[in-house]
Amino acid sequence: MVTRLSNFFLRTLREDPAGAEVASHKLLIRAGYIRPQASGIFAWLPLGLRVKARIEKVVREEMAAAGAQEVHFPALMPREAYEASGRWDEYGDLLFRLQDRKGGDYLLAPTHEEAFTLLVKDLYSSYKDLPLTIYQIQDKYRDEARPRAGLLRGREFTMKDAYSFDASDAGLDVSYQAQRDAYERIFQRLGLEYVIVQADAGAMGGSRSEEFLHPTPVGEDTFVRSEGGYAANVEAYTTAIPEPLPFDAASAPVIFDSPNTPTIETLVTHANANLEGEFTAADTLKNVVLALTHLDGTRELVVIGIPGDREVDEKRAEVAFAPAEIEPATPDDFEKHPLLVKGYIGPWSPTGAILGEESATGIRYLLDPRVVEGTSWITGANIDQKHAHSVIAGRDFSADGVVEIANVREGDAAPDGSGPVHLARGMEIGHVFQLGRKYADALGLKVLDENGKLVTVTMGSYGIGVTRILAIIAELNNDDKGLIWPASVAPFDVHVVAAGRDQVAFDVAADAAAQLEAAGLDVLYDDRPKVSPGVKFGDAELVGVPRVLVVGRGAADGQVELWDRRSGERDTVSLAEALQTLATR
Amino acid sequence: MVTRLSNFFLRTLREDPAGAEVASHKLLIRAGYIRPQASGIFAWLPLGLRVKARIEKVVREEMAAAGAQEVHFPALMPREAYEASGRWDEYGDLLFRLQDRKGGDYLLAPTHEEAFTLLVKDLYSSYKDLPLTIYQIQDKYRDEARPRAGLLRGREFTMKDAYSFDASDAGLDVSYQAQRDAYERIFQRLGLEYVIVQADAGAMGGSRSEEFLHPTPVGEDTFVRSEGGYAANVEAYTTAIPEPLPFDAASAPVIFDSPNTPTIETLVTHANANLEGEFTAADTLKNVVLALTHLDGTRELVVIGIPGDREVDEKRAEVAFAPAEIEPATPDDFEKHPLLVKGYIGPWSPTGAILGEESATGIRYLLDPRVVEGTSWITGANIDQKHAHSVIAGRDFSADGVVEIANVREGDAAPDGSGPVHLARGMEIGHVFQLGRKYADALGLKVLDENGKLVTVTMGSYGIGVTRILAIIAELNNDDKGLIWPASVAPFDVHVVAAGRDQVAFDVAADAAAQLEAAGLDVLYDDRPKVSPGVKFGDAELVGVPRVLVVGRGAADGQVELWDRRSGERDTVSLAEALQTLATR
């Protein structure tokens, strides 16, 4: 049945909606695809629902091809399983929590690892039942602190989440690869360029983890790539650790007065003026104090030494200390710990300082991986207005651990030796990762193996944000006049516009629309009787169906226009030729 | 692609699940269609999802045929609109309520009248935009006090809810009829017998309201029907009001001692022993005290007079006083109101009693519609151990209003004069009703009419419980061996069972399954290599695909069995004939 615009539920808007900043957010609302209901929560109008259904169809077909089976969980889930996995707490304010009339605790599920684990535990008991990959396409909820960019970071979103179950690590690798391959096919079919990067598993736990990023300068994720094929997001990048240096011949550390040098910049200036040699920030060791808030609510200070030419990368630091939350130490923290001399903090103990292995404060001291044995540093002396030089790692100080919180820079070495990395930005469009046994352990999912022994199942988790992908496609496919959908996901195959004033244009257009629909195309027919051609063209451009058939003045002579929305080209052709072209694309 | 049971996500269960009482609940779990997640909340397994998708397809097709357009709202909605309509409070404990991280109030929507109203207000402004009917198929939440019977009364359920918008009452009638007709077609296609009954609009407000009930003795709703075509559920049944009687010649009321007669039964016995004449409960007027709790929390006592041969029907009483909640007056209430003499309460004032028009208590006195002017009653004298006779309505007492709380009985007159009614039970499978202007008024939905004047839009609301229908179909189609799906909603068209031990049976079965799938059928193929034919047959009976193709010992000779799951008949035929029969049904 041809969809007629005269009674189609659509109202295009001339003005950008208030507060919308990115193109997809503005255009999806202006063109009548979605309507906001609350911050980060949207209703889907007929146009939007059509595009969403097309994307879901591609996802379902590729899931079936990969042997995954569809199930469906409710959004409202009881607390217990999320308590057992630790995520009831770990997710913090991101979770929508509620109680039922009996006081039972529930949540709106942000993802369903626990539920899938329990379902398989409930029904399966033998290695013969595995491998198994099951998935759902489902509406999820996360109470983002700052919902923004429309569907790109909403509080409700539709996600395809799949979970694989295997009795062995080798099996998991196979299941993982099958989903990874399916994701490549999905993005190829959707015409969405992607880079697969190593990712940190974050709050999910687990081992191998890769993200599919769409490379774009406006992406909110930063990733690195080397010519040699290494790719990772900055959270997952690991520093190439340098070789230790010999230090037998090195001179002893020397404490020197360094008044008014609480920053790296002032310290370097002071050193170049007063010490022998020429120094840069890279010669200094900066000691940063962070406050961690652990899940149980306790607060811990840690001091971290990083080369003075690096900054703390907040995302890398978050990942490094997750699930604890981090913030810079406050003036109050320094007041409570007078041994931490702000601006002059140093690491080591042999000189009588307070940190390091024999710390008297109980405060952990952690180091950037570049601070290997034998490296020599100018750093704080843990005495006000004093620093020290010739302070050698492994001789004069050591650490309680290594941590990656320093930023990654263009030209840093890839950890696999594949050369220097380049930085780029991207948007996450998919995520595959090996959960391993985290959830199976927490929830007791075991099966009998070939020898009749109970083994813990190993799992994978695979997510694609359906509504996010829709927004990204909109973000990538538009101009100043509106949306321009790729044919694979357009809400309609053809937009027929009756643009004449004579009845003949309407008759010919209606007939053309009916013929195209009969040929198996989805047709939107702008049959509005009293709307000017100009308004109709404007709406066609805003809505963004890629191929438009304009039936106007030439209709009486059998002439119509084929309008390519993307290129803007309009070709006058005979009606028969137009129908032929459209039907056989 | 043929679905092979060897790797299909299914585990059938031999035992009925704990706590399941009705057949659909037991069998949908045992046969692997759904799994409970919490009280009244279920996950959908592949089999269940297939049946659900088939029902949704029928609903979508008929909605499109009726000109309704699909949209989709989130389950999580902000409080404001529900506050404006009054339902934030009216729904009471049935609502799942929650707060976001900023303390904003939200709910999980039980239905979306408000959201649809605001959406249309948001986009439309003229009578020319109307009529409009939009719908969604969406997961809804209600925190039922006693979730039971599996999907029949869950706390999460999938519903198709449609809403119509018209500028005039005549338009609403047309939109209403279009949905009503679509519902008839849906139930016919699903093979579901139905009766359309008048219904009370309940908490929804509005005027015309009809329910589609599936008649069944195990239904939880009671309805009445007359031979002449009247049909209503008991909440909506209205009493045929008798003609007033002349009472000029009637004698004056007489108070008499009636010790120990606090019940109708004891009163009738006493009257027959001590008064002239022969009396039944129908000659007495029973005065019931109910306590109403209004939305604002205030508590009000009301006294209601009903013929002594009738009982209070709780559902009718709930509807009569909605949105107030009702309960019987408590001993505490009687203590606080000593003028209410329990067991001896009467209505009237001329004899000095305390109720009725000139009530000194402020307590409202309401009457059953049968208590018309001129009717004579034996009733309480509002004095302990005393009653009165010859108490005549309209002469000796009158009321503050009429109310229908008495039960409906077999043989009661239909209000439209179409004869006596019969009582029957049914399950609700759909509901259509005219909301009128309730929501449009509350939320300010107006459009400009032909004369450029703002008029308030009138609305209809139309609901079908998709998951409820699935459960009812399961409830109606099973035997002691399992489910028996109608072909229109079965999860598969054919269930092929390889039942031999020889490879040939498997080869023939696999080939047959592939041919059937190629012919456009959905095929489930039981290819499990080490499972006995008996277990396979048992699973086939439990799962309930209506047509089973058994490939067993005769396979080598080209012989197979066509097994009709409903009749149990098994016909041995040639493979070619079997494929022909199955493919051309």
Q: Is B543 exposed, middle or buried (0-12, 13-18, 19+ CB in 10 A)?
A: buried
pLDDT value of position B354: 47
CB contact under 8 A, B49 and A35: no
C-alpha B566, offset from chain centre: 28
Percent share of chain B, pLDDT over 70: 96
CB contact under 8 A, A37 and B77: yes
At B33, the pLDDT band (50, 70, 90 cuts) reads very high
Q: What is d(CA B398, CA B364) in angstroms, rounded to the nearest whole number?
A: 11
Residue A201 pLDDT greater than 60, yes or no: no
Q: How close does chain B come to A78, measured CA to CA in Å?
A: 7
pLDDT (tens digit per residue) in A87-100 = 998 888 999 999 99
CB contact under 8 A, B49 and A67: no
pLDDT value of position B584: 81
Residue B486 pLDDT greater than 90, yes or no: yes
Residue B204 pLDDT greater than 50, yes or no: no
pLDDT value of position B361: 66
Q: How many CB atoms lie within 10 A of CB A531?
A: 17
| Chain A residues lying within 8 Å of B49, measured CB to CB | 70-72
Closest by Cβ to A139, choosing from B74, B77, B143 = B74
pLDDT (tens digit per residue) in B313-340 = 998 999 899 888 899 999 999 998 888 8
| Chain B residues lying within 8 Å of A93, measured CB to CB | 101
CB contact under 8 A, B143 and A100: yes
| C-beta separation of A291 from A327 below 8 A | yes
pLDDT (tens digit per residue) in B499-515 = 988 899 999 999 999 99
pLDDT value of position A322: 86
Residue A355 pLDDT greater than 90, yes or no: no
CB contact under 8 A, B101 and A46: no
For residue A208 the two structure tokens come to: 């191998």
Q: Out of A90-99, A285-294, B195-204, B255-264, pick the least confident.
A: B195-204
Residue B158 pLDDT greater than 90, yes or no: yes
Residues A67-237+423-466, CATH architecture = 2-Layer Sandwich (3.30)
| Chain A residues lying within 8 Å of B143, measured CB to CB | 100-101
Residue A204 pLDDT greater than 60, yes or no: no
Q: Is B27 exposed, middle or buried (0-12, 13-18, 19+ CB in 10 A)?
A: buried
User: Which long-range contacts does A294-300 make (Cβ < 8 Å, 24+ apart)?
Assistant: A294/A324, A295/A86, A295/A89, A295/A90, A295/A323, A295/A324, A300/A324, A300/A364
CB contact under 8 A, B132 and A9: yes
**Between A355 and B406, where is the model more confident?**
B406
CB contact under 8 A, B38 and A96: no
Average pLDDT rounded to a whole number, residues A173-185: 98
CB contact under 8 A, B70 and A76: no
Percent share of chain B, pLDDT over 90: 81
Q: What is the mean pLDDT of chain B?
A: 92
Average pLDDT rounded to a whole number, residues B420-427: 94
Chain B residue at shortest CA distance from A49: B71
What dotted CATH number matches B254-402? 3.90.960.10
Name which of A75, A52, A23 is nearest A474 in CA terms. Answer: A23
| C-beta separation of A225 from A195 below 8 A | yes
CB contact under 8 A, A77 and B156: no
CB contact under 8 A, B134 and A69: no
pLDDT value of position B340: 87
| Chain A residues lying within 8 Å of B119, measured CB to CB | 35, 43
A-B C-beta contacts closer than 8 Å: 135
Name which of A189, A153, A154 is nearest A63 in CA terms. Answer: A189
ipTM for the predicted complex? 0.87
Q: Out of A175-189, B387-401, B437-451, B522-536, pick the least confident.
A: B387-401
**Between A365 and A359, where is the model more confident?**
A365
Residue A136 pLDDT greater than 90, yes or no: yes
Where are chain A's structural domains?
67-237+423-466, 254-402, 492-583
pLDDT value of position A572: 97
pLDDT (tens digit per residue) in B399-417 = 888 999 999 999 999 999 9
The answer to whether the B23-237+423-474 and B254-402 domains have the same CATH topology is: no
Pairing of strands A325-328, A446-448: unpaired
For residue A356 the two structure tokens come to: 């390091």
CB contact under 8 A, B74 and A124: no
Q: What is the mean pLDDT of chain A?
A: 92
Q: Cα dist. A543→A53, A512, B156, B325, B344 in Å?
A: 17, 20, 35, 50, 74
Burial A561-579 (b: 16+ CB within 10 A, else e): bbbebeeeeeeebebeebb
CATH topology of domain B23-237+423-474: BirA Bifunctional Protein; domain 2 (3.30.930)
Residue A502 pLDDT greater than 90, yes or no: no
pLDDT (tens digit per residue) in A413-439 = 999 999 999 999 999 999 999 999 999
Closest by Cβ to B69, choosing from A42, A46, A64 = A46
N- to C-terminal Cα distance for chain A? 20
Q: How close does chain A come to B101, measured CA to CA in Å?
A: 6
Q: What is d(CA B91, CA B205) in angstroms, rounded to the nearest whole number?
A: 13
Residue A350 pLDDT greater than 90, yes or no: no
Average pLDDT rounded to a whole number, residues A566-581: 96
Closest by Cβ to B76, choosing from A67, A72, A156 = A156
Q: What is d(CA A225, CA A421) in angstroms, rounded to the nearest whole number?
A: 5
Q: How close does chain A come to B427, measured CA to CA in Å?
A: 24
CB contact under 8 A, B145 and A101: yes
At B308, the pLDDT band (50, 70, 90 cuts) reads very high
| Chain B residues lying within 8 Å of A72, measured CB to CB | 43-44, 49
At A351, the pLDDT band (50, 70, 90 cuts) reads very low
At B360, the pLDDT band (50, 70, 90 cuts) reads low
CB contact under 8 A, A45 and B71: yes
Instruction: Report residue A77: phi and psi, to 5°.
Output: -130, 150
Q: Which residues pair with A242 in a beta bridge?
A: none
Instruction: Report residue B413: phi and psi, to 5°.
Output: -75, 140
- pTM of the full structure: 0.88
Residue B291 pLDDT greater than 80, yes or no: yes
The reply to whether omega before B131 is within 30° of 0 (cis) is: yes
pLDDT (tens digit per residue) in A363-401 = 888 999 999 999 999 999 888 999 999 999 988 888 888
Closest by Cβ to B45, choosing from A41, A71, A132 = A71
N- to C-terminal Cα distance for chain B? 20
CATH topology of domain A492-583: Rossmann fold (3.40.50)
Chain B residue at shortest CA distance from A41: B74
Residue A207 pLDDT greater than 90, yes or no: no
CB contact under 8 A, B141 and A76: yes
At A115, the pLDDT band (50, 70, 90 cuts) reads very high
Name which of B50, B73, B37 is nearest B3 in CA terms. Answer: B50
Q: How close does chain A come to B133, measured CA to CA in Å?
A: 9
- Residue A227 is given by DSSP the state T
CB contact under 8 A, A76 and B41: yes
Closest by Cβ to B124, choosing from A11, A45, A124 = A11
Chain B residue at shortest CA distance from A134: B9
